[in-house]
Amino acid sequence: MPGARRDVTVGVVGGGQLALMMGQARAAAGVRLVVLAASPEDPAVAVADEVLYGTGFEETSLRALAARSDVVTFDHELVDLDALGRLVAEGVAVRPGPSALLFAVDKAHQRRALAAAGLPVPRFVVAAAGDDPDEALRGFAGPVVLKRARGGYDGRGVAFFDGPDDARATLVAWAGEGEVLVEERLELLGEAALVVVRALDGSLAPYPLVDTRQAEGMCVETRYPSRLRPDLVEAAGALGARLAATIEPVGVLAVELFVTAAGLSVNEVALRPHNTAHWTIEGTTADQFTQHLRAVAGLALAPVEATATCAAMVNLVGGPHPPRPGPDVEGVYVHDYAKAWRVGRKLGHVTALGADPDQTRVRAWESARRLGAPAREVAWP
Ligand code: ADP
């Protein structure tokens, strides 16, 4: 934004790659950034205006962050919601607020609330410790998915079973530790993601829908524009607006969608910048990190336009060997999160822009391979 003044200090809970990319966007958003990092190795430490150490589960750390910030936001949802609620009651600006964050923190709450609002979700029940597992599984005949209500992400805390009988032992074990979502395993034609940024005044700045590919519960690749039928693209946009009205977040609302023969259903929502919108950094005039910071700082959102006909984003994931610096591929932007290499860990991403969807995608994968850290490739349907 021209002439932006850096009046507002945004405190970010967590110092991961999302906070890193918020840090890279802070000048464009016109804000200062204080990061609550877990360790000096956290990616965002290098770009923050100020760093505090601690976690989102420690009330003293959250209070220290709030004292240094005008508004508190998040890199991840590993946070003590009760402590945040106390801060809000004392007048601290927490955006998104605890009631919106609960959707991202607790999958059982999310499914119940979205179903109650009439939004399409897979058929589900919630089981807790002491519940009869056979009763919980009774309504399911085919393949099922178990999801821990809290604490799982990137495929952790999610398990797939061919039928309810196979799921019984895991259900009993997990339910002993907290609520478990039992849901039908849908036959997916594909997955898509919609990111909408909601400003403090409730106005929305949506990004175009993208198609996504997942492997082992982790996003592998996204492509813009989506190749879904125009009526489904339109339906996704309408779903995004209804979700924003239901959840009332401030900042990024990311919606992961399942595509089945019956249409779209909501897999899950996240209330922070999202992997499926990393392409917006180069692929749009106003990326998700800048828009998130502007929203939580109470500033107006910028209009969003795509800057290229096509974009493809591929995650860089730790393989058997550490990644190496690779030669550039034309029109591909490499984001290295400067994280220690570990097998299966997200280490960065690449975004290719272009005019032809297939060539754009090929260049993104070529770049990821040259760096020695492509995600496991899965074919588009
Ligand atoms: P996480 O919160 O760990 O990302 P998700 O709930 O998003 O876990 O599930 C990860 C992936 O597992 C999804 O992207 C999808 O590919 C698959 N999956 C999850 N739930 C279902 C379901 N009910 N039916 C079919 N596939 C599913």
Question: Which residue has the least CA distance to atom 27 on ligand 1?
Answer: 185
Mean pLDDT of the chain: 94
| Cα–Cα distance, 11 to 15 (Å, whole number) | 11
Ligand 1 — pocket residues by CB below 6 A?
Answer: 122, 145, 147, 152-155, 158, 183, 185-186, 188, 191, 214, 217, 256, 267-268
Helices (H) and strands (E) in the chain, counts: 11, 17
Ligand 1 atom with the shortest distance to the CA of 153 = 3
For residue 252, what are the contacts with CB-CB under 8 A and spacing of at least 6? 195, 196, 197, 270, 271, 272, 273, 274, 277, 288, 291, 292, 295
Q: Residue 297 pLDDT > 60, yes or no? A: yes
* DSSP three-state, residue 1: coil
Distance 267 CA to ligand 1 centre (A): 7
Measure the CA–CA gap between 173 and 32, rounded to whole angstroms: 45
Cβ within 8 Å of residue 318, ≥6 positions away: 341, 342, 343, 344, 345, 347, 373
CATH architecture of 9-94: 3-Layer(aba) Sandwich (3.40)
Ligand 1 centre to CA of 260 (Å) is 13
pLDDT of residue 321: 85
The residue among 292, 289, 298, 271 whose CA lies nearest residue 200 is: 298
Name the closest-CA residue to atom 17, ligand 1.
217
Pairwise CA distance, residues 372 & 329, whole Å: 14
- In this prediction, residues 98-115 reach a mean pLDDT of 97
Give the mean pLDDT of 98-108: 97
Q: Which two tokens stand for residue 316?
A: 């860089």
Cα(187) to ligand 1 centroid in Å equals 12
**Is-contact 232 259, C-beta < 8 A?**
yes
Q: What are phi and psi of 289, to 5 degrees?
A: -75, -45
Which residue minimizes the CA distance to atom 11 of ligand 1? 217
The ligand 1 atom nearest the CA atom of 156: 3
The CB density around residue 345, as the number of other CB atoms within 10 Å, is: 15
Residue closest by Cα to atom 2 of ligand 1? 153
**Mutation choice for ligand 1 from 147, 158, 180, 255, CB with most ligand atoms inside 8 A:** 158
| Residue 60, pLDDT above cutoff 60 | yes
pLDDT in tens, 172-218: 999 999 999 999 999 999 999 999 999 999 999 999 999 999 988 88
Closest residue by Cα to residue 375 from 216, 248, 255, 249: 216
Least-confidence region, from 47-51, 77-81, 229-233, 325-329: 325-329
The alpha carbon of 207 and the centre of ligand 1 are apart by a number of angstroms equal to 22
Q: What pLDDT is recorded for position 62?
A: 98
Cα of 232 vs centre of ligand 1, distance in Å, is: 20
* Mean pLDDT, range 276-298, rounded to an integer: 98
Q: Whose CA is nearest to atom 9 of ligand 1?
A: 217
The pTM of this model reads 0.95
**What local confidence, expressed as pLDDT, does residue 327 receive?**
79
Q: So what's the architecture of 190-370 in CATH?
A: 2-Layer Sandwich (3.30)
- Give residue 314 CA to ligand 1 midpoint distance, Å: 19
Region 293-303 average pLDDT: 97
Mutate which of 267, 268, 276, 346 for ligand 1 pocket (most atoms within 8 A of beta carbon): 267
Q: In terms of DSSP bridges, do strands 31-37 and 346-354 run parallel, antiparallel, or are they unpaired? A: unpaired
| Residue-level pLDDT at 6 | 61
Q: Which of 263-277, 320-334, 341-355 has the lowest mean pLDDT?
A: 320-334
The protein residue with its alpha carbon nearest to ligand 1, atom 21, reads: 185
**What is the architecture of the domain spanning 123-184?**
2-Layer Sandwich (3.30)
User: So what's the pLDDT on residue 1?
Assistant: 45
Quickly state the pLDDT bin for 155 (edges 50, 70, 90): low
Q: What residue's CA is closest to ligand 1, atom 13?
A: 217
Tell me the longest C-alpha to C-alpha distance in the chain.
62
Residue closest by Cα to atom 4 of ligand 1: 154
Residue 309: CB atoms within 10 Å: 13
- The two tokens of residue 115 are 């179903």
CB 207 within 8 A of CB 288: yes
Would you state the pLDDT for residue 375?
Answer: 74
Contacts of 169 (CB under 8 A, 6+ apart): none
Domain locations along the chain: 9-94, 123-184, 190-370
Question: Do residues 323 and 347 make contact, with C-beta atoms less than 8 angstroms apart?
Answer: yes
- Residue 130: is it exposed, middle or buried by C-beta count within 10 angstroms (0-12/13-18/19+)? exposed
